[in-house]
Structures are given as structure tokens and as C-alpha cells.
Amino acid sequence: MTVIDVHTHMLDQVWLKLLREKGSPRYDVGPITPELEGIYRDGALFMTPMPGHFDYDLRVRDMNAAGVDLAIVSLTCPNVYWGGEAVSLEASRVMNDSMAAGQAAHPDRIRWLASLPWEYPELAVEELGRACQQGAVGVMVLANVAGGHLTEDRFTPIWEAIDRRALPVLVHPTEPPGNAAMDMTKYSMASTVGFMFDTTLAITRMVFDGFWTAFPT
């Protein structure tokens, strides 16, 4: 049986540098320990980059050890939903180029999901086309886009473009809307609790909004 890992993440040092320089005021990259850095959102740690996130050769060695045949890699939150239009597009291109290179280096072991500047639909549609030309096999999106619901009318052009290509989409949790009001920055609750119902909210809205009728493929 072929073992395929569909939920696994890769990063890129240029993307991390962009986040460090352009992520404020909401996002920050700072120390956890003297040897280890983390990504913080509103002062709360929610992501810890590790060496394996940046090294495709190491990833493949770890896949061999774990018995994984194929990894479909994606970016994780905060994805590219920060920094404004130019930064969001640059971050998308950096990550998509990086993952395309990872697939090219390991064509039998790596596939990838495109990241798109969802807040800017025209740019997102253009980047989707470019990413697919580079070999993307699907798309990843966070369960809310900077607080915006996935079924908002402004995202319709992106979903239409994805639907025309019949691409799979990984809906990945992030902190839910109202995170601060619920005081979920404490005790890592934004991820340990909030992630769980962020995807629930997203998919439930899709059901009641008739999403799969509008976008059947």
C-alpha cells in the first residue's frame, strides 16, 4: 500500500525573513529558548520552525524512516495573509517557487499545494495559474482569511478558478475570529482549542451557504 502524507508542512527562509520584517504589528519572530525561535501572533507562540521545515533532503530521509512514500507539502498559518498586497504576493511566490524546487529535486517523493494571496482575488487567480504551471497539485487555504469567511462573495473568483481546474483544497485551521475577545491567547488555546472549531465553523458555513452546489468540482 502506498502511504501518502497529505497534511505536512514546509517553510522557506526567505518567507520567514519576510514575516520577520513585514509581519508586525500582529506577527513576530522571536526567541523561545537561546537556541530556538518561534512565530508569535498577538504575543502568543503558535508555530515553532524546525530544521526539517527547510530541508527537503532531510524530509525525504525522515519519510524513509517513517515509511511514508509521498508527501504533499503545504505552508501552514499564518500562510501569506499579512503585510499588504505586495508582501502577500511576494510571500506566495516565494513559497510556491520553493515547493516547486523541492518537487523538482525529489520528483518521486514530493508534491505540493499552492499558497495564494486570498485577500487580493485577482492576484490570487493569477498566482494559481502560475503555481499550477510549476506543478502544484492543489491549493491550501486557512479556515478563515485574516478573519474573513471562505464563502464571502469577494472570494468567489478564486473558488471559480479552483473549481474549473477541479483541484483539491486543504482547509487548514488557524486562530478563529474573535480569538482576542475569547481571551484565547493564554495557554496556547488559540491552537489547542481554537484550531478545532475554526475548521468546524468554516465547513459548517460552506454547508449552509450551498458551497458545494456552487462549486461542485
The three grid cell numbers given for residue 144, joined into one nine-digit string? 478563515
The three grid cell numbers given for residue 200, joined into one nine-digit string? 468546524
CB 134, CB 97: distance < 8 Å:
yes
CB 89, CB 57: distance < 8 Å:
no
Mean pLDDT of 97-105: 98
pLDDT of residue 25: 87
Asked if omega into 34 is within 30° of 0 (cis), the reply is no
Mean pLDDT of 19-33: 90
Mean pLDDT of 110-137: 98
Asked if omega into 121 is within 30° of 0 (cis), the reply is no
pLDDT of residue 96: 98
pLDDT of residue 34: 87
| Tens-digit pLDDT profile for residues 162-201 | 999 999 999 999 888 877 788 877 787 878 888 888 999 9
The DSSP annotation for 70-85 comes to EEEEE--TTTT-SS-H
The three grid cell numbers given for residue 134, joined into one nine-digit string? 510549476
Q: How confident is residue 94, by pLDDT bands cut at 50, 70 and 90?
A: very high
Mean pLDDT of 74-84: 94
The mean predicted confidence, pLDDT, of the chain is 94
Whose cell is 511566490? That residue is 93
Q: Find, among 185, 165, 187, 167, the residue nearest to 176 by Cα.
A: 185
Residue ranges and CATH numbers for the domains of the chain are 4-214 (3.20.20.140)
pTM of this prediction?
0.93
Cα(111)–Cα(59) distance, integer angstroms: 13
Q: With 90 as the cut, is the pLDDT of residue 42 above it?
A: no
Whose cell is 509521498? That residue is 70
- Would you give the distance in Å from CA 137 to the centre of its chain? 14
Burial of 127 (0-12, 13-18, 19+ CB in 10 A): buried
Please report the sign of the dihedral spanned by the C-alpha atoms of residue 103, residue 105, residue 107, residue 110: negative
Mean pLDDT of 124-130: 98
Asked if omega into 25 is within 30° of 0 (cis), the reply is yes
